[in-house]
Each structure stands twice: as C-alpha cells, then as structure tokens.
Structure 1
Amino acid sequence: MTKQASGSHSFGGLSRRSLLQSTAALLSIPIVAEATSAWAQEKLAGTGEIVAFSWGGSFTDSVRRYVYEPFTKATGIKVVDVVADLAEPQIKAMHTAGRIDWDFTYVSPMKYPELHEAGMFAPVDYSLWDQESLEGTPAHKRLQDAIVLDQVGMVLAYDLRAFPKGGPQNWADFWDVKRFPGPRGLFGSTGKTNIQFALLAAGVAHKDIWPLTDEKLDRAFEKLNEIKPYITKWWAAGGEAPQLLINREYAMSSIYDGRAVAAVRQGVPIKFAWDGAVMGWDYAAILKGGPNTANAQKLVAFLNRARIAAGWTQATNYPGPNANQLKYLPADLIPQVSVNPENASKVLVEDTAWLVAKRPDGKTNADHMQERWTAWRAN
C-alpha cells in the first residue's frame, strides 16, 4: 500500500480517492462487527467528537457505515468527516499556522518521514488496544506515532476465458508470450512496480530486489524492452485494468488487488496471483495539538480491533494489518486478501526509506527512477 507522481498513493499517478471509491461502491457485504458489545465499550467510551480526514466518495460512505457509525454507537463519540484527495498539504498548512483543526488523518508513507520529523503527530496510545489487536498486528506496522491503515497490492490478473486451462501465475509467465499469448496491460503512470516485476521476470529473487541500484535498473529496463511491444495499453486509472480484462482487450494485466477482489466477488471471469505482487500501505496518524486527541486515540484503537478490521476489509477490499481479522471474514474472501499469511509470504514490500533517500545530485531515488521511466516510455 508508496506514492509517486501525485504523492497520494503507494503506486502514484492517480489519487487515492480515484483508486478506492468506486471499489467500495461495488460491495454489498454485511458488516461482521457488532459494535455495541462490551469489548468495544470497556476503554473506549466517551463524549464529543473527532474531526477525521477521508478521501471522500463511496470510500468514505463505506468507512462511515462499517467503522465510524459502529464506533459512535459503541462509544458515544461522533466522527465528523473532512474530505480531500490529499491530506499532507493541509496538515502542513495547519502546522505552519499553529492551528490544528483535525484530529485524525491518513498519511502517505512517502510523506510520513517529513511530517514525523517535524513533530506533527501524537504518539499512539497502545494501552487502549486489546490483546487481539496487538497480537495480530506486526510490530513494524505499529509505529510510535502512526499505524498502518491499509495494505494495497499490485497483482497479476488474467482472463479465464483466454486461459481456461490455467493462466500466468507469476511475472516470468507474464513475460512468456509463447506459453501465454495475448494482449497485455501494465500501469503506465509510474515505473517502480513495473521495474520490480521486470526484475522478477529476469530471475532476481524476491529478497534481492531492494535496493533498486542503478545496475538493477539497467537490468529491469532491458527486460522491459522485451515486453513493451506486447503492452497494448498502459492503464492509468484504477478501474481501467478490470474493465479492459472484462472487455477482452487484455488477456492479462497488473491490477490493484482490491479491484481484483471486487471483480471476482461480482463473478467477473478473472483470476489473480499473489506471487510477486508489490505491496505498499497507507498510515493513519493523530495530529498533535488537535481539538479531540483523546477521542482520536480511541478511534485508532477501535478500527484496529479484529472484528472492525474485518469490516474495513469488507467495505474497502484493502485490509488493515491485523491478521486476527481472518477469524471474522467470510470464508470465500480469506484466500483473496493480502493479510492472509499465505499471500503475504509471496509479496514484495516497497522500501520507502530507500525511495525517499537522496542521491548525490539531490534527487530522491524515487524521482530518479521515475525520470528514467518517463524517458523509457517516451522512446
């Protein structure tokens, strides 16, 4: 689940709102959490409100239904939404002005280090978390002043009608145009996911992908040269890949995992593979100096409870990191989500620290890689 051109999502080039809102609208799965039970009330009851940033549209509608309304019912604390494509510019403006109007926000991992170093976030009160949340959420996804909100993967999907006996299962297969013929698609706006896919196709082991040295970039672009003639369209918006698969304009394509899950659950004839998926995530944080910090701490604790995490996953298709939610998800959904340990063992996790690190020329590694990608696409 990160974000390059727009700075708004792990894979960049489109806003987080455009990535998620239509996916959330596709689902009609009942909530699994009963928010009035005692486990939600013991430490989290309160009064007043929380001002919470969100990406808007059907994404916010779904989160309100599956998380915020149950939270209010369980705790008595109201959640007030503020909506925008990007939170970080407004967080900086509030910090500069010395007036913090929000309590809770989503944050891009690419932007988090700068805001963290400036002291804009309050430490997370993990004493409010129940044992099921702490045990189910890996320690590296529970930072001092932020938590992983959701996980977003780019996976390989294929049209079952094109490959009724079984399609490509990894990126080496995607590059094998003889065994698996047909038109292909890749995300075109930013290059870093495709660069990783190319290295996997070239035989680089998962553990050796990062850091993306100049030598590895050279190798990736050589491999990308091989597949470029077979990419019939470079997709940009999150909804394009599933639609082009449905229309049979693609036989296979990279696709956001949440889009793929939504399509499969609607009966669309596609399958997708987790081997070599690229995983990023978004953070959630509590703004230091916000008007309702104590209430925001309770919301963070609530949304990471396993039952509520399962509700978030069913609402958005992009799960939070609490693996204990698997106990509360529908059986047919468990094999499809990234929080499933079997799927998680097959993915590549982006090295955000390397991406934001500066090169000798003052550019970040991410910017350098994107410049190379843009130049390669233009040729």
Structure 2
Amino acid sequence: MKFVAHALAAVALAATAGHIAPAAAQQTLTISSWGGAYQKAQREAWFNIVEKELGVTIKEETTSGVADVRAQVASGRPTWDLVQQGNYGCALLDKEGNTEPLTPAILGVKGIADNMKGKGWISNLVYATTLAWSDEKYRDKKPSSWADMWDTKTFPGGRTMRRSPVYALESALLADGVPMEKLYPLDTARAFKKLEAIKKDVVVWWASGAQSQQVLKDREVEMAAIWNGRAEALATEGEKVSLTFNQQMLLTDCWVVPKGAKNKDLAMKAIEIMSRPEVQARIALYINYGPANVEAFNTGIIKPEVAAKLPSSPENAKKGFVLDANYWAANLDELTKQFDLFIQR
C-alpha cells in the first residue's frame, strides 16, 4: 500500500508540474504585416511553411508603418519579432538603429539582389509603380513611357499621381530624358521644374492605392501613376484599363527584426526559410505580387502566364529599375517638405 501511495503521489506531482510548465511547449513567433488579403496570402504562402518546419505557432498582428516599429523598439520590450515594411521604410529603420542585424545566412541567400537588402533588412516581394491608362480614352495610340504622361497634346485628359516625392520625382526625371541607370542621386531641381509643367493636369494627387484605383475606374482621370496590382485588379474586374512595365519603378516590401525582439533568433530562421526560392515562389499563387528572389522563377512553381504579369519576372524586371531605398531613407523628410510646398503653391 505504501508503494502504491508513493506511485500515485509521483503521478500527481508529474501531472501538476506538466500543467505548470510543459516540457515541450511550442514557441510563438509574432509577425506583423499589412493585414487584409495581402497578409492572408503571406499566411498561405509562407507562414504555414515556417510553422511546420520550425514547429512554432505564428501569431499575426498588423502594422501601419515605421512609427509602429519605432514605438516597439522605444518601449524596450518589443512584442513583435518580425515586421513587414516598405523598402525605404526598412532602410530608414536600419539607418536609425531600430533593427537587429541579419545573419550571414540570410544576407547570403542567392537570388536577392544587393539593392534589395541591407544590414538589417531583406526584401520578400516585389510590386511596381507603373503607367496605366484608360483604353476607352486612348483607343488607337497607347502611352508607353513617362514622357507620355507629360504629353497632354497627344494624350489629353486628367492625370493622377501619388501625393509624395517618391515616384513623382523619378517619373519627372524619366519624362525629361534621364536614363534609368543615371537617376540617383536625383536631380531634384530638374524634377520639380518638370513637375511644374504637368501640375495643372494632375486632377488628383492620390494618398492611397484604393484612391488611385477608384479615380481611374470612375474616369475622373485618364492616366495614372499607379501600383501595378491596382491597375490589374481593375482590368480583372472588366474595366478597360491597361498598363506598361516600361520604365516601371520596382518596389519591394521587406522583413526587419525590431531591435531587442525577444525571439530574434527564431525570427532569423523564419526569414531564411521565407527567402528560399521555392518558398518565395509561392506568393504568386495567392496574390498578384512577384517574389524578391529571382531564382523563384526557375522553380517551376510560377506558371509562364502568371510570370508575364509580375513586375519582378526576368522579362519585365529588365524594363524598369529598383527604387533606391537608401536614397529615400536619407532624403525623404527634406524632399517631402519641398513636395508639400510645391503642391500648395
């Protein structure tokens, strides 16, 4: 009886101890991204793979921009382990010291160009700012370059551009004849002078992707500087809208690990997995964005007809250029002030 009593006590103690601290408790990795269909696609394409391979649970949250990451780091106890941001936002956070340095294994991943990563950030997908237009307005001759945005005689009608120096200054210089490979550092005086020539024709300076899409759909404008996914969504809905990848501005979203993240080592492993070509390729199965790793196009996962509509496919990428994230990290604040004054004049 004494033996049985001791055995029962041991079982009870083990059960209690197990309840308090399971020996094989599953780790949680908190990832913050942009939400909506975008983040749902990331879950299907990438997060499920990470969970399975690392044996972790991914908790999802959302971010609205760099200010969120700054606040997380300033708190001294970031609750996010991994965050998605735009490329010049990532470069800015890195410049400010708000990111953890990425491991050599991540930075050494083949297929992701040097201008798509930095000490504390690496790109994960690609989209683009493109020139799009109404086919109902321009039935015969079609626009083909940023110079056509400025050619209001050949292509009359209202325009829409982003209310930001980013994209606007690049498109102005391209329209003025500057080669893509010689854009940076931007000749800002020349760019603002060129923008003056079209200012009266810009009916809407858009503040969101949804707004740029809506004004083109409603025929408030005939031509737009717009994210490729927004224009293609209109075409899919049956709107007579086309775009060109010629002189496209390739933009990336990227991963950063906030400085002081408690699960930074786990976050690094997750980034490494999600940067692999075969994992990168999966994003194109769920949303109209291209992988940042160009080798993803060699995996056979992305069908040719899908690749033809992705800005980062080899055929389309060579028609454009990658937005210089480091340039904008260094100059965004000052040029935004100048741009706002330009709009208000």
Partner in structure 1 of residue 147 of structure 2: 172
Say which is worse superposed, 111-120 or 320-329, in terms of deviation: 111-120
8 Å CA contact 2:91, 2:118 repeated in 1: no
Partner in structure 1 of residue 20 of structure 2: none
8 Å CA contact 1:108, 1:283 repeated in 2: yes
SS of the equivalent of 1:248 reads coil
For residues 372 and 322 of structure 1, what CA distance do their matches in structure 2 show? 35
SS of the equivalent of 2:178 reads coil
Partner in structure 1 of residue 176 of structure 2: 202
1:77 aligns with 2:56: yes
1:292 aligns with 2:263: yes
Partner in structure 2 of residue 25 of structure 1: none
1:354 aligned residue (324, 327, 339) = 327
1:137 aligned residue (105, 108, 112) = 112
1:273-352 to structure 2, matched below 5 A, reads 273-326=244-297, 327-352=300-325
8 Å CA contact 1:49, 1:295 repeated in 2: no
For residues 55 and 136 of structure 2, what CA distance do their matches in structure 1 show? 51
In the TM superposition, residue 178 of structure 1 has moved relative to its aligned partner by 2.1
1:102 aligned residue (73, 76, 80) = 80
For residues 204 and 166 of structure 1, what CA distance do their matches in structure 2 show? 24
Structure 2's unaligned 5+ residue stretches are 1-24
1:30-49 to structure 2, matched below 5 A, reads 47-49=26-28
Q: Cα 1:97–1:258, aligned 2, differ >3 Å: closer, same or farther?
A: same
SS of the equivalent of 1:222 reads helix
Q: Cα 1:322–1:282, aligned 2, differ >3 Å: closer, same or farther?
A: same
8 Å CA contact 2:116, 2:252 repeated in 1: no
Q: Which amino acid aligns with 1:273?
A: T
Partner in structure 2 of residue 39 of structure 1: none
TM-score, normalised to structure 2's length?
Answer: 0.80
Residue deviations 1:172-203, cap 9 Å, x none? Answer: 1121122222222222x212322221221122
Structure 1's unaligned 5+ residue stretches are 1-45, 358-364
Partner in structure 2 of residue 116 of structure 1: 94
In the TM superposition, residue 161 of structure 1 has moved relative to its aligned partner by 2.0
For residues 52 and 91 of structure 1, what CA distance do their matches in structure 2 show? 12
Q: Which amino acid aligns with 2:64?
A: D
Please report the RMSD computed on the Cα atoms of aligned residues, expressed in angstroms: 2.8
Residue deviations 1:235-259, cap 9 Å, x none? Answer: 2221122222222222211111221
In the TM superposition, residue 111 of structure 1 has moved relative to its aligned partner by 4.6
Q: Cα 1:266–1:72, aligned 2, differ >3 Å: closer, same or farther?
A: farther
Q: Cα 1:125–1:269, aligned 2, differ >3 Å: closer, same or farther?
A: same
Partner in structure 1 of residue 40 of structure 2: 61
8 Å CA contact 1:145, 1:285 repeated in 2: yes
Q: Cα 1:123–1:249, aligned 2, differ >3 Å: closer, same or farther?
A: same
8 Å CA contact 1:52, 1:104 repeated in 2: yes
Partner in structure 1 of residue 18 of structure 2: none
**Structure having the higher Rg:** 2
For residues 124 and 294 of structure 1, what CA distance do their matches in structure 2 show? 10
Q: Which amino acid aligns with 1:368?
A: E
SS of the equivalent of 1:165 reads coil
Q: Which amino acid aligns with 1:257?
A: N
For residues 90 and 119 of structure 2, what CA distance do their matches in structure 1 show? 12
8 Å CA contact 1:160, 1:166 repeated in 2: no
1:376 aligns with 2:312: no
Q: Cα 1:268–1:334, aligned 2, differ >3 Å: closer, same or farther?
A: farther
SS of the equivalent of 1:283 reads strand
Q: Which amino acid aligns with 1:369?
A: L
For residues 223 and 140 of structure 2, what CA distance do their matches in structure 1 show? 14
For residues 225 and 346 of structure 1, what CA distance do their matches in structure 2 show? 27
Residue deviations 1:209-241, cap 9 Å, x none? Answer: 2212xxx33322332222223222222221122
Q: Cα 1:351–1:139, aligned 2, differ >3 Å: closer, same or farther?
A: closer
In the TM superposition, residue 124 of structure 1 has moved relative to its aligned partner by 3.1
Q: Cα 1:96–1:172, aligned 2, differ >3 Å: closer, same or farther?
A: closer
8 Å CA contact 1:158, 1:272 repeated in 2: yes
In the TM superposition, residue 117 of structure 1 has moved relative to its aligned partner by 5.5
Residue deviations 1:312-359, cap 9 Å, x none? Answer: 2343433331112223223222122221123222324333333343xx
For residues 338 and 308 of structure 2, what CA distance do their matches in structure 1 show? 36
Q: Which amino acid aligns with 1:150?
A: L
